[in-house]
Amino acid sequence: MPFKSHDSYPFCQTKCALQSFAEKKKCCGTYFPSTFFPTPPLSWIVFIISAKSFSPVMAKRHLSLKDLATELNISISTVSRALKNHPDISPEITKKVQDLALARNYTPNPLAMGLLKQETRMIGVIVPDLVTHFYSSIISGIEEYAKSRGYFILLASSYESMEREIESVSNLLKARVDGMIVCLSKETDRFDHFLRLIENEIPLVFFDRLCLTDRVPCVAIDNKDAVEKIIRHFHEGGYRRIAFISGPTHLNISHDRVAGYLSGLQKAGLDFDPCLLRPCNMLVEEAIQITDDWLALPEPPDAIFGINDRIIFEVMKELRNRGIKIPEEVGVIGFADEFHATFSTPQLTSTMHPTREIGIKAAELFFKKMEDPEFVETVVLQAKLVVRESSVRSL
């Protein structure tokens, strides 16, 4: 195997590996210091099994075009062209190159490509939290579609905090994502960080909790309709004093659901009692407090529904603690059907959101926005009311 004298291929590899190892040891500049995480108090750790270690082998660098070129004794650009079936390259060389690439399991270095093309093929995704089924299911949908287009997901959580949302946007920007798909945190009531993205023409898509809908493609749920369905269902079941635990008032989802509450009551011919509409910040304690307040009313509600299942599960617990029967005395309905809604007793009626579709659609809009910077559109998906035990009085 001939090597050019100034290259000395196999030894070069070893040297590079050693070099890069040495470089890592050196701690460099202080201008962008990496803050170190203090060792967390892991009271759970009990014992540690140490295993035998193996003798170190030199780390293998990923294969580059140069490696292939050297091995075949042709130029890098020929290899590059051969790999993409460039018509200029002779069939024999093309075949030889492609065979070797396959055999050596060559994959192009995305960093080099990214530097050249000014793109990372990564989409930043920011969700309020990672642990709610609603979001993780949407992430699944985004991931699936993105993967099919050869893109990766860079995931960030805002933990429902606007501050951390801003930080996440900035971090993803530092990582040079090609764009972002975002669900606002519950606190978010300023949008400067997103306006910056828009001004810089960085593709952006919102889902579920939206803002700036006249400039950003969005995927939303028809919240108004979903709530109207709930009211109608309650009304048909003979419930008359329908109470609603809503969300933070600045969120579009709260706004739309309240609108649905009002119009739903009106359509059903029911009076609106302001006492029975309470916003909350999605905290467990609030749910309990509000339930307490309602039960203390001279005319307590006979039906309760809320901004999400989590809140409603707490309401159910509170009702059960007081010996109030569901659904006989009080009907209950959740929102954004978690998969465990069927595990409660009684099983929880809830609106089911097409979460995977939300994710897929959001990703779809994202790619449209990439291709056409002027593209703006809000896609509205319908939620389904899934009737179970908690809202149906047996006759």
Phi, psi dihedrals of residue 51, rounded to the nearest 5°: -110, 160
**Identity of residue 9:** Y
Q: Does 175 bind DNA (CB under 7 A)?
A: no
The partner in contact with residue 237, picked from a second copy, DNA, none with C-beta cut-offs of 5 to 8 angstroms by kind, is none
Comparing CB distances to a second copy, the nearer of 317 and 393 is 317
Residues 345, 85: Cα–Cα separation, whole Å:
62
Could you tell me the maximum CA-CA distance found in the chain, to the nearest angstrom? 94
> Strand, helix or coil at 3?
coil
Q: Does 101 bind DNA (CB under 7 A)?
A: no
Q: Does 31 bind a second copy (CB under 8 A)?
A: yes
Residue 304 host element (H or E): strand 303-306
Q: Does 46 bind DNA (CB under 7 A)?
A: no
Return the residue matching tokens 């460099």: 28
Site string for DNA, 62-91 (x = CB under 7 A): x-xxx-------xxxxx-xx-xx--xxxx-
Comparing CB distances to DNA, the nearer of 115 and 284 is 115
- Of positions 88, 92, 199, 236, contacts a second copy by CB under 8 A: 199
- Of positions 316, 330, 336, 362, contacts a second copy by CB under 8 A: 316
Q: Does 155 bind DNA (CB under 7 A)?
A: no
The partner in contact with residue 249, picked from DNA, a second copy, none with C-beta cut-offs of 5 to 8 angstroms by kind, is none
Q: Are 280 and 294 in contact (CB under 8 A)?
A: no
Q: Are 305 and 244 in contact (CB under 8 A)?
A: yes
Comparing CB distances to a second copy, the nearer of 140 and 289 is 140
Query: Which alpha helices (H) appear in 149-205, and where do they start and end?
Result: 162-174, 192-199
Site string for DNA, 107-136 (x = CB under 7 A): -xx-xxx-xx-x------------------
The partner in contact with residue 385, picked from DNA, a second copy, none with C-beta cut-offs of 5 to 8 angstroms by kind, is none
The partner in contact with residue 65, picked from DNA, a second copy, none with C-beta cut-offs of 5 to 8 angstroms by kind, is DNA
Return the residue matching tokens 């993780």: 136
Residue 278 host element (H or E): strand 277-279
Q: How far is CA 327 from the centre of its chain?
A: 34
Q: How far is CA 48 from the centre of its chain?
A: 35
Stretch that binds a second copy, among 4-12, 256-264, 272-280, 371-379 (CB under 8 A): 371-379
- Of positions 211, 246, 354, 369, contacts a second copy by CB under 8 A: 354
Restricting to residues 137-156, name those near a second copy by CB under 8 A: 137, 139-140, 143, 145, 147-150, 152-156
Measure CA of the first residue to CA of the last residue in the chain; give whole Å. 87
